[in-house]
A and B are shown apart, each in its own frame.
Chain A
């Protein structure tokens, strides 16, 4: 992975000391809260319901073992012994004290981590496929380009005060694990007919109160022109994006108003004005960055591991784990392993300090020290030898990290909701826990198959509810928590915004309603159909009837 150089390290140290000084001035009364708030937000520090929250950036969801260990150390020293992985592949600490914040940033900086660009109207942490560098599906390593964007966008003077926040995701596989079409810019690496690498550039996606699916404005942008083209998009947005109304300030509103074709035309016109030789990354710099992502020293192994096959034959739990939580690796004899942070009954995305340390140890012992964070709030060990799978599974299981439920009904995205968040209208975590407990039997969950449930505690949609196969939005009805269900959303390559099922349900009815929806699916499904496929074929009505008519 990318290694900070002396300039990066000096910059982070300076930045931490600057923030330490700003905190001291705030506590001494030399600056007001109004003056201080934007400064702390630029360092990822929010004030939430019970305490401060620090959002740590995890660039394109990539961590090494010492970094994950450091996050565990911070959780234990300055928080209540855990951290919360988010749908932006970042990590949030929910019990932070202002007086400790600068020390925490210093501790993060020692392992090349920080909390810059995790808040504010700037280009946020760019996300990428968590299987990058490990999946045979990809045409290139998206981390290379995410790192290029990271370096280019960090404190970019022109794009630090955009009309609103700005999120970019990069995938290089046909199967999209980044929800690219829900981002301000989604980039999909593809090979053209001539074999040349290019980006499909999608703009104007986004969730929140007005969800849109990103639209393609360029089918094949030569990869070497990435930065100049991004600059053109951001310039058009920076110039014409609305600043008078926070709810209409995202690029999705501008793209929707102009139409993707006209927006694309303006981008092309702007791009033609840009000195590309200045704006684009020189080849040698690209090569330097690419060098940091060269493959680890994989062993030459047989495609089938007799150790693993023998263990699987006598351990049904391992066999199930292998079915649900592992994926083919591009190198023979290896697997990509999902670490589930969705044990039924636990808080989705939470990991204790001990769990973080265990995953760091496993990464170091068995996986070249690499860990990834997914936007679905799980972790990934991207390079595990099949021979080592029994040992890795046993260690994960002992730590409560081997729930075999990736992409299943209990692998639920949930934002922190009203339990923590100052913006929330309703709780999200207990709803996720109720549903997951209902489907805690792994055989039942496996029989139901792929079913993505996503829960947000308010319309800002951090829990991606619009693109859940079943989406759940918490609303406040006269001070009481109610939940609006949507069906048929998808954040993947077949992205779609879900449709509202019917009137909002009280909290106590939600898990039961999900059960009823699943019953309809199991009754109606045809060979090989996922929940989403059955919904798309059968429509909303049978599902609606089950939830609303059967209730009487």
Chain B
């Protein structure tokens, strides 16, 4: 499974793709099961050069009774810094945040799709 993420240009906020719009919470992100629609969304996102910076796909996996980004770095982006639990998205609380905060099991470094460009 995959989700599409970026930083919003105007304020740097971490955002996720949700059926053509950008949302601030991972819990509201669109989850792609197949490569083709994920790739199409990525292409659309990359064309929104005045809205977001550096859109990319991340791996997502089941965690507890929900979903979480696979890579630790991406979980931090979806939550906020661990030294200040009252800063960032984690401050909002709620089920989706709890799922990410307690997600274990890590697949691979970065968790970013297409980071290594294959020729």
Contact = CB atoms under 8 A, between A and B. Distances in A.
B82 A427 contact: yes
Interface residues of B, number: 30
B108 A98 contact: no
A419 B84 CA distance: 9
A416 to B, nearest CB: 8
A441 interface: no
B81 interface: yes
Contacts of B82: 419, 427, 429-430
Given A33-B49, A418-B73, A479-B109, A27 B83 contact: no
B108 A433 contact: no
Interface in A74-127: 80, 95-99
A427 B84 CA distance: 13
A242 interface: no
A52 B80 CA distance: 14
A433 B53 contact: no
B106 interface: yes
Given A80-B87, A478-B109, A479-B108, A51 B11 contact: yes
A97 B12 contact: yes
B43 interface: no
Nearest to B106: A479
Q: Give the most central of B9, B13, B81, B110: most A CB within 10 Å.
A: B81
Interface in A424-463: 425, 427, 429-430, 433
B109 A29 contact: no
B53 to A, nearest CB: 6
Contacts of B13: 50-51
A551 interface: no
A368 interface: no
A32 B83 CA distance: 34
Nearest to A52: B12
A418 B76 contact: yes
B109 A49 contact: no
A481 B77 contact: no
B56 interface: no
B76 A419 contact: yes
A33 to B, nearest CB: 6
Q: Give the most central of A29, A429, A479: most B CB within 10 Å.
A: A479
Nearest to B50: A29
17 contacts: A26-B9, A47-B53, A47-B54, A50-B13, A50-B88, A52-B11, A52-B12, A96-B12, A98-B10, A99-B11, A347-B83, A419-B82, A425-B109, A429-B82, A433-B83, A478-B106, A478-B109
